[in-house]
Structure 1
Amino acid sequence: MANILLTGGRAPVTLDLARVFRRAGHTVFMAESLRGHLSQPSNAIKANFLVPAPRQEKEAFLIALKKIVAENQIDLLIPTCEEIFHMAMAHDELPLFAEPIKKLKQFHNKWEFVVHAVDNDLHVPETILVQNQEDLLHAYAQWRGLVLKPVYSRFASRTLILPTLQKASSSLTFSARQPWVAQQYIEGQAFCTYSVCHNGRITAHTTYPSRFTAGRGATIVFRHVEHSAIFNWVKSFVGQNKFTGQIAFDFIQTPDGQLFALECNPRATSGVHLLASHPRFAESFSNPFMDCITPTGDRSYMLSAAMLLYGLPAALRHGGFRDWVKTYFSSDDVILDFKDPLPAVMQLRSVLATRAIAKRENISLLEASTFDIEWNGEG
């Protein structure tokens, strides 16, 4: 049995991972920069450590992590959120289940990911790097409908879908360090994936459609589907890049079956929830030679608070209330666990802590959830 250190305890996926590793007999520790985070009261965690904010205090954050690793004889350090990019800068000094920053940056940066995929003969939408007004005009001359997003962003919080040229011109702020990408708009069904990988081999994988979301980006209801074309795309990408760690992709499939990868998240995502009940999921992080596992059963899982806060208003606006009711009452909440009840009982504390950041920084709740950990190419 191993000593496992997780970071990103604010995220429901991290709570689920803590429970997974504890059920498998491992000892779980948690390091977080958000006070009162979601996972803090979980009985799956032996000890919680409050660490400096990686975005604002990177050096102090890394020093704190190294101390926790040494003093608690940590065997494996698993990042889950965007703190991974700050940790990857000290890759050789930590027992990190992740790639070095040079490789992670290629996939996290939305322009570099597209270039990389094209070089590997993998399908992505036609894309233009937008660094100034001239590039923007070129994109609008190229396509009637397009999507604009910063090369570094999350939850689609700043994504513009089918904007007019006037709206785009007034919304975009250009800088050399923070360019945008323009992509041809593609109509179709959205899918997300999540995989655990070792040197190009996939040991755990799930694909799930994106139907209910928080805002435009983060999926909040999860049900595994078998999709061989998507799995083969991921398998090819992971294999060609000899990737180790957790990795996720967003896809769009057109009505005639064409498949395009929109972007990559080289970290944990909500696919964890679909694999958490598999008896060998914990093993997939430590056994690079095991066969790839996929979720068992046909259960639907959800973030119930997000379904109420985001899913219900969207359903009422767009005439999907009946579908929302059916989904809500047939899905299991990923936070509620009667053997570990306190995270669900006390989750409002984490929401209030995030809300305080949102108010202080004058940003949205989603943006506040990553304010102290996100990475936008710095350093």
Structure 2
Amino acid sequence: MQFRALTRTVGALGALTVTLPIDLVVVAFALLDQRRVAAPPSGRTVMVSGGKMTKALSLARAFHRAGHRVVLVESSKYRFTGHRFSRAVDAFHCVPEPTDPGYAHALRDVVLREQVDVFVPVASPASSVPDADAASLLDDLCEVVHADPETVRMLDDKSTFSEAAASMGLSVPDWRRITSVGDIASFDFPPGREYILKQIAYNPVGRMDLTRLSSATPQRNLEFARSLDMTESNPWILQEFISGQEYCTHGTARDGHLTVYACCRSSAFQVNYEMIDVPDIRSWVETFVGELGVTGQLSFDFIQAADGRVYAIECNPRTHSAITMFYDQDLLAQGYLGRVESAVLPTHESKPTFWTYHELWRLLTEPNRRHRLRVIVQGTDAIFARWDPLPYLLVHHLQIPILLVKNAVSGRSWSRIDFNIGKLVEQGGD
């Protein structure tokens, strides 16, 4: 297994080396363009976490364009993130992992040192709750655009989220909280309906396993359940599988008012974003955040069934990568930092966003090359910007290569490279 992982790592490093000269030429030409994004000073300093992720870069650029000073933070593992070299970033700091007891105090130290006015967490699944807990140490120093700890924990748990939404009269699939194989054995599967099991804790690898369970497959139901680690401390959710079109949304809310909103068609591994208006989904989101009266960022996954009804599958209380669609939206920062009359949406001129290296891989491995070429021609790379080209070069030729080398040295395996999140997807990863 280790030899196979090493071979994949060497192959990935070799492929990135092959493309380096092309990227150097593209970035060199962009650097010759002396244009700068005019930004009138505003006197506000915004701290953005999650510095390895494209969505953090997108927000940093938005705050910079609006005239704000940007402080980017990330854990030491990702200290060589290409985003720290962005023209939009005025200062970069490493902090401990979110699970470290010193995480909140490290954030407070950065806030004090940089005189931060606003903290916008771009949370990974592992940091949503720690960021909410850290707010108690930061509230006397700066504004934190994040929900309170109780709300974040409720939203992050697929079962308590479903319960809360249903209590508001909003549609969610039928569900049960599962903590043992016995719960599956005793569940009376309704005839003609299928269910799937999803771990409530973030599972970067297993989350794509959508094995169907039903009344017609009692033996498979139990065998599959036994293959999973289900306990009181590691609960799962048994959720009805509804066939239909998947959608994902990003929402920023302030005091229960939706101030930033985007909606896209979705898939299991989402690296393409194009705004689409589904009125029932937006109404669902507006009702939910209004009932909660929440301030923070809430990303939802939906299914629209064949009859047109929409069901919310889960909520992730953090920034969605769909925020990359706002690359030319001058009002994005305002939507985060102040009240707006209506939610800020991507502009009508916004192109769909993609990640070039993901599209190149698909060109090589998928049969419909014409479609992939059309995606590239009609869209725009989520990382590259002519006025700010270094992140594009350094994500692909510094950040990811360093992670690959570290994995090779440690003997760890990985399932794929996620250029969007800026990491290697691995079992037990962040």
TM-score for both structures, normalised by structure 1: 0.89
Deviations 1:80-127 (A, max 9, x none): 122232121122221321012111010011111111111111100011
Letter in 2 for 1:161: L
Q: Does 1:302 align with 2:354?
A: yes
User: Please, which runs of 5 or more residues in structure 1 have no aligned partner?
Assistant: 375-379
Q: Does 1:175 align with 2:231?
A: yes
Aligned to 2:253: 197
Residue 358 (structure 1) shift: 5.4
Counterpart Cα distance in 2 of 1:62 and 1:233: 33
Counterpart Cα distance in 2 of 1:187 and 1:292: 30
User: Which residue of the other structure, out of 72, 97, 101, is the alignment partner of 2:149?
Assistant: 101
Counterpart Cα distance in 2 of 1:313 and 1:169: 36
CA distance 1:169–1:162, shift in 2 (3 Å): same
Aligned to 2:105: 63
Deviations 1:306-351 (A, max 9, x none): 2334x446733xxx44322322332100101111111111112222
Letter in 2 for 1:352: P
Counterpart Cα distance in 1 of 2:118 and 2:174: 39
CA contact under 8 A between 1:162 and 1:185: conserved in structure 2?
no
User: Please, which runs of 5 or more residues in structure 2 have no aligned partner?
Assistant: 1-41, 213-219
Aligned to 1:47: 91
Q: Does 1:188 align with 2:244?
A: yes
Residue 245 (structure 1) shift: 1.0
SS in structure 2 of the partner of residue 36 of structure 1: coil
Residue 148 (structure 1) shift: 1.2
Residue 140 (structure 1) shift: 7.1
CA distance 1:202–1:10, shift in 2 (3 Å): same
Counterpart Cα distance in 1 of 2:154 and 2:258: 19
Residue 289 (structure 1) shift: 4.3
Aligned to 2:71: 29
SS in structure 2 of the partner of residue 123 of structure 1: coil
Q: Does 1:334 align with 2:382?
A: yes
CA distance 1:324–1:158, shift in 2 (3 Å): same
Query: How many positions carry a matched residue from both structures?
Result: 363
CA contact under 8 A between 2:257 and 2:289: conserved in structure 1?
yes
The CA RMSD measured in Å over matched residues stands at 2.3
CA contact under 8 A between 1:358 and 1:364: conserved in structure 2?
no
CA contact under 8 A between 1:53 and 1:373: conserved in structure 2?
no
CA contact under 8 A between 2:146 and 2:296: conserved in structure 1?
yes
SS in structure 1 of the partner of residue 301 of structure 2: strand
Counterpart Cα distance in 2 of 1:10 and 1:17: 12
TM-score for both structures, normalised by structure 2: 0.79
Instruction: Return the structure number with greater helix share.
Output: 2
Aligned to 2:31: none
Structure-to-structure mapping, 1:1-379, within 5 angstroms? 1=42, 2-33=44-75, 34-55=78-99, 57=100, 59-82=101-124, 83-94=127-138, 95=142, 96-139=144-187, 141-142=189-190, 144-153=193-202, 157-163=206-212, 164-165=220-221, 168-210=224-266, 216-217=268-269, 219-298=270-349, 299-309=351-361, 311-312=362-363, 315-316=366-367, 320-348=368-396, 349-355=398-404, 360=410, 361-365=412-416, 368=424, 374=430
User: Computing the radius of gyration over CA atoms, which structure comes out larger, 1 or 2?
Assistant: 2
